[in-house]
Structures are given as structure tokens and as C-alpha cells.
Amino acid sequence: MEQYLGELIEFTLGKNQTRILDSEQNLYTPDDLEHDLHSIEQSVEENDCVINLIKSKAAPLSKKTKEKCLTSNFLKCSFDVNILDPWFFCYQFNESKIVEEQISRLHQGNTLCVKKLTMRSVSEIKIPLYDIKKQRMIGKIYRQMIVHKDLMLRQTENMENLTLAIIKKIEED
């Protein structure tokens, strides 16, 4: 069964940057979204995710970023975790070919250089809605894949640095 995101999620658009007060300068950035998606720590607000409307990417909010002010490039997504699992939602939004095709269709005919999703267009995206147990299983596997991939990348960097240090040491001797 497929369902529109607008039927599952309550969306809140971030503030227009020109209207943000100096006291609200702790802004949520694209780097924060990447940190939230790749964080080993579990998110605190289990029912809150964020969508980057320019990059068309979603992530659960983490402890570190939950208090930050969202700009209009981001959409906060709140939903009932007994109906939609946050990590399953992120998997569907970030990796699903079904969603990717819908987003591509939304961008067709867009004459802007920066192709940005709107709250309305996101609400009209359909995702498959499995029973919550299956969603949680898929979401957990997706999260583990991200963590393992990041750890493997870190290990590769460490091996590269070690190898270069050994080569440098050999050259110096």
C-alpha cells in the first residue's frame, strides 16, 4: 500500500533567513543534516526528521541539532512513530527509486538553476507503507549500513595515513 507523505507527516517549513533574529544565529546547516544522518548516536526526537529541500535528502534530528533554528531550505517532519518509522522514512526518501523518480518528475520543467522542492511537492510524494515491524527492520538495516560504511571509510583513511607515514619514514632513513 502506498500513501502520500502529506497524509502521514506534519510539515513545518523553516524560517526565511531574512526574518531570523541575531539571537537565533544557531542555524541548522546542510552539514548538520549530514551529521544527523551519519551520527552513531541515536536521534533524540524519534518522531522528528528534517528534509533538505535543495539536496532532496532526509535525516532524523539528533540531540546535537534539535534546538537549532531551521531555515527555509529545510522542512521539519513530525509523525507518529507507530505508523511511520523515522529511519524507514529516511531510507525511502534518500534511497528509494520510487521516490527518486517522483522527485525527478517534480524537477522537470523547473527553470530555476537551483531545483528546490516545496512543502507541497514533498507532501504529494508517495511511499510504500509496510506494517511497522517491517518498517523498523528496514530502517534499522539502513541505519546500520550507513554506520558501517562510515566506519569502513574511516578505516580506509587511517590505512592510507599509516601507509604514507611508513613511506615518509623509509624516505627519511
Count of structural domains, the chain = 1
Residue 22: predicted pLDDT: 62
* Per-residue pLDDT tens over the stretch 103-130: 988 877 655 566 789 999 999 999 999 9
Residue 65: predicted pLDDT: 85
Task: Identify the CA nearest to 56 among candidates 117, 3, 98, 97.
Answer: 117
Domain that holds residue 76: 2-172
Q: Specify the CATH number for the domain of residue 139.
A: 3.90.220.20
Residue 62: predicted pLDDT: 85
Residue 38: predicted pLDDT: 85
Residue 126: predicted pLDDT: 96
Taking 70 as the pLDDT cut, the residues of the chain under it are: 18-24, 41-46, 109-114
Q: Cell 543534516: give the residue.
A: 33
Q: Is the separation of the CB atoms in 70 and 28 below 8 Å?
A: yes
- pTM for the predicted model, two decimal places: 0.84
Residue 63: predicted pLDDT: 81
Residue 107: predicted pLDDT: 74
